[in-house]
A = this chain, B = another copy of it.
Amino acid sequence: MISDHSKYLKRCFELAKKGKGYVSPNPLVGAVLVKNGKVIGQGFHKKYGATHAEVDAINHAKESVAGSTLYCNLEPCCHTNKQTPPCVPLIIEKKIKRVVISNLDPNPNVNGIGARQLSKAGIEVLTGILKEEGEELNKFYFKSVKNKRPYIALKIAQSIDGKISRGKKEQTWLTGKKSQKFVHELRNLYDAVLIGANTVKIDNPLLTVREIQGRNPVRIIIDGKLSSPLNSKIFNSDDSQKTWIFTSEKADRKKFKLLKERGIKIFTARQNSIGLLNIKTILSTLAQNKITSILVEGGAKVFSEFINSGLYDEIIVLQAPVILGEGVNVSKISHIKELQLLSIERLDDDIKLVYGKKLAH
């Protein structure tokens, strides 16, 4: 029986993944209906605001779902303060016999309440099967709900000797084509990418998804003085409403107005004693604006802020086969940070290393 449960839940994961990049701030969910050992319906959450996976599976069922088992990677919802009607009443109404789920929904409006309502209605409920895999699938959702801030990944492209460029005002292209494509895959998954004003000035990036088919993330620039040039590529894109700037009260008012006119969203954040914007405030504003995941793309000042404050969930290092000898360090931090190696992978002549926070023993 266990292996059957795992089999159908894995199918839910695969279905859920089809929503990657489109469902945020919702979680990725897939659902499968099984009756007499046969799949009679399946579905997934396609994008934010669209039908939930459970309803999608029921709608697509080829026969009556009464007496069937519903597999679903996340606990069905029971709350009503949202875009779509709750799934629990429908499951009860449709006389589904059993519900098998991987994870309870960490959203305090659901968290176990959905499962309890199903049980009370006489439906058999099994939870916690493939729990870790389910959490990994929805790491953006779980971590952002738990930490009350977006999931944060720092993406660092560096030389073997840990330099991000040869000189302070010099753009240094280090990594190869496969790494670049991988970065575009990341941008397609994360709600937003984030850079500092120096990176706008030196690299003048677009931060869009071009190397693969996908959708563009929100592009966030931390620019306390609003010093990024108006002719930067990032301010001249087709979807300017997806370019967001965090600046301070000290920002040039004329530039502020011109950028606003182009449809760019500008937030004003407090500065700390050394003139840096408060990262926590920025993250809290982003969370309020439905950003559940951020890919931080640099440069050194921004990386230092995030590493120093401990505000990150993973660090992705793309290391090129080159020794720069001198150049700009990844970060300047006051304390040593011990990490945990999560994975290593070769990308042609580069390597991709993923680190997480070190777990306490």
Name A's B-contacting residues (CB within 8 A). Answer: 158-163, 166, 304, 307, 315, 317, 319, 321-326, 329-341, 344, 346, 349-351, 353, 355, 358
Residues of B contacting A335 in the complex (Cβ-Cβ under 8 angstroms): 325
Contacts A162-B160, A163-B162 hold; do A325 and B337 have CB atoms under 8 A apart? yes
**A332 with B326: CB separation less than 8 A:** yes
Taken together as a complex, chains A and B put the C-alpha atoms of A351 and B321 apart, in Å, by 15
CA distance A324 to B337 in the complex (A): 7
A323 and B358 alpha carbons, distance in the complex (Å):
12
* CA gap between A162 and B164 in the complex, in Å: 11
- Find out whether the CB atom of A344 lies under 8 angstroms from the CB atom of B344: yes
- Expressed in whole angstroms, the minimum distance between the Cβ of A253 and any Cβ of chain B is 37
- Inter-chain contacts of A322 with B (CB < 8 A): 336-339
Partner of A323 from the list B166, B337, B340 (CB cut-off 8 Å) is: B337
Taking CB atoms, residues of chain B closer than 8 Å to A330 are: 160-161, 323
Determine how many copies of this chain the complex contains.
2
Please determine whether A326 and B321 come into contact, CB atoms closer than 8 angstroms.
Answer: no
Contact A349 B341 (CB under 8 A): yes
In the complex with contacts A344-B344, A346-B341, A336-B355 CB distance below 8 A:
no
Residue in chain B with minimal CB distance to A324: B336
- Interface-central residue, A158, A325, A331, by most chain B CB under 10 Å: A325
B166 and A158: CB pair below 8 A? no
Q: Contact at B321–A358, with CB atoms within 8 Å?
A: yes
CB-CB < 8 A to A355: which residues of B? 160, 321
CA distance A355 to B159 in the complex (A): 13
Rounded to whole angstroms, the CA-CA distance of A337 and B163 in the bound complex is 13
- A339 near B323 with CB under 8 A, answer yes
Are the CB atoms of A307 and B325 closer together than 8 Å? yes
B323 & A336 in contact (Cβ 8 Å cutoff): yes
Q: Closest CB of chain B to A290's CB: distance in Å?
A: 31
Q: How far is the CA of A163 from the CA of B162 in the complex (A)?
A: 8
| Chain B proximity of A55: nearest CB distance (Å) | 43
Contacts of A329 in B (CB 8 A): 161, 325-326
Chain B residues, Cβ within 8 Å of A353: 160, 319, 351
Contacts of A349 in B (CB 8 A): 340-341
Contacts of A351 in B (CB 8 A): 341, 344, 351, 353
A333 to B338, CA, bound (A): 28
- For A317, A319, A323, the residue with the greatest tally of chain B CB atoms inside 10 Å of its CB is A323
Q: How far is the CA of A358 from the CA of B320 in the complex (A)?
A: 12
Listed by A's residue number, 26 A-B pairs whose Cβ atoms lie within 8 Å are A159-B162, A160-B162, A160-B353, A162-B162, A162-B163, A304-B325, A307-B325, A319-B353, A321-B338, A321-B340, A322-B336, A322-B337, A322-B338, A323-B336, A323-B339, A324-B336, A325-B329, A325-B331, A325-B332, A325-B333, A326-B333, A340-B349, A341-B350, A344-B344, A344-B346, A351-B351
CA–CA, A160 to B325, complex, Å?
A: 15
CB distance from A322 to the nearest CB of B (A): 5
* Contact of B162 with A339 in the complex, beta carbons under 8 Å: no
Q: How far is the CB of A45 from chain B (nearest CB, A)?
A: 35
Instruction: Chain B residues near A317: list those with CB within 8 A.
Output: 160
